[in-house]
Amino acid sequence: MSRTDAERLADARLHLNTAVEYGRRTRLEQVHVDAICMRIAAGIEALNGLAASSRDELEVVIATLRDDIPHLVAVLDRALEGEQGPQTLG
């Protein structure tokens, strides 16, 4: 059964929002970093096959996360570098 663009966008939004929420934890353990990475990958995969006509809707999804994505990347960078101290998104 083929998925609609609306379903793909909803799945992507769910996965990416969940990744952001995981990044807001007070202290990130390796399991949280792994979960964030998996949610990002799942969010990207959900967009596979998205019709070109849905690009405007995709921009809305990205716009809602625009402020959080750079912080999430910074959290992952610190975790990968093994920085000590609390690692949080917000």
Longest dimension (CA), the chain: 47
What are 72's two structure tokens? 């999430």
Rounded Cα gap, residues 60 and 1, in angstroms: 26
Domain range annotation of the chain = 5-81
- Is 0.85 topped by the overall pTM? no
Phi-psi region of 82 (alpha: psi -120 to 50; beta: other; left: phi over 0): left
pLDDT tens sequence across 12-38: 989 988 988 888 876 778 888 889 889
Rounded Cα gap, residues 81 and 83, in angstroms: 6
Cβ 41 vs Cβ 80: under 8 Å: no
Helix (H, G, I), strand (E, B) or coil at 41: helix
